[in-house]
Amino acid sequence: MTLAEQLSFEAILRQEKFQNMQNAARQAIAVVDDARQGRRVFFPTKWPRLNRQLLGGLIPGKLYIIAGRPGVGKSAFSNQMVFDMLDHVKALGKDVVVLYWSFEMPGYEQILRDAAKDTRLDTMSLYSVDKALDAKQFEAFKKSVATKFGYPVYFMNRTKEASEIERICTDLTAASPKTVIINLFDHSRLIPQKAEKSEMERLNTLSKTCMRMQSNLGTLNILLSQLNREIEKEHRAKNQYQPMLTDLFGGDSVGQDAQVVMMLQRPGDLYNITDKYCGQEPKGLLACHIEKNRQGGLGMVPFEFDGSTFTIKERK
């Protein structure tokens, strides 16, 4: 007699870990009640419209993709978003750590960009290109940087394979199970894999690694990704080069696993568009197109972008 013949229908379902309707319904009630009672865990940014699209903010155990062509402002956008989230988390007293996997830009440059936003000093001034930064400006810069000293952010500038990243996150979770890990990958194409031959295979490995870490460790993963060159082809001009999910590099590999895909575009600065773009003036516009959102809404959230000081604000 086979094992299946020995077990009842219900026993087989339980053995295979199916969830019945009653348990799923109870879980749905608990989720809504947690939200009603203020127990739902999410990390808001300081951008109200984006928060609303994301149902309050970013959620642990999910993958968020921020995509765009080179130079569009992905790093500046993600930096400001993460530092804003940390301000909120700090006020709540939550145990959170950010692992910044930055293989293209050293950590000090990320801090310098954030200080440029706070002090309104552009990079030309901070690097004393035309004239030496005066003492008052330098003190303002140091004061801005000092406010970040206590932030739980750790930069990794040496390249790591996806398996190494997963091992490190597993070890950290074992050492401190209550700490939520936020992984910020800048960017997806810079994470090497020895075993896989093609870039698509590497991206697929990274995406599946993120899914495992989210399921097993509860990590919140933010992945910066490139758009392919299709968006810049001549026929896309009639639609003002607005991004689509098919423009995501390795879209099938990473897009399908994401909770949210945000695609950034600067139509005025990068494509010299002067006509209204999605109803917005294109000059200084950083358009955040939410092209995938498993729970919230889709659409474009408009931001004002100052590239000299890396300042990003929601347009009113």
* pLDDT tens by residue, 2-16: 655 667 888 888 888
| Same-domain status, 157 and 271 | yes
Q: Which domain holds residue 302?
A: 42-107+145-314
Round to whole Å and give the CA distance between 125 and 119.
Answer: 11
How many domains, in total, are found in the chain? Answer: 2
pLDDT tens, residue by residue, 107-158:
888 888 888 888 888 888 888 999 999 999 899 889 888 888 888 899 988 8
| Same-domain status, 163 and 216 | yes
Q: Is residue 131 part of a domain?
A: no
| Same-domain status, 34 and 162 | no
Helix residue ranges, H only, 227-292: 251-254, 267-271
For residue 22, how many C-alpha atoms fall within 13 Å in the half-sphere facing its CB?
A: 0
Q: Is residue 135 part of a domain?
A: no
Q: State the pTM of this model.
A: 0.87
Q: Is residue 302 part of a domain?
A: yes
pLDDT tens, residue by residue, 279-309:
999 999 999 999 999 888 899 999 999 888 8
Round to whole Å and give the CA distance between 301 and 263.
Answer: 10
* CATH number of the domain residue 73 falls in: 3.40.50.300
Round to whole Å and give the CA distance between 62 and 160.
Answer: 21
Put residue 223 in one of left, alpha, beta given phi > 0 → left and psi -120 to 50 → alpha: beta
pLDDT tens, residue by residue, 177-188:
989 999 999 866
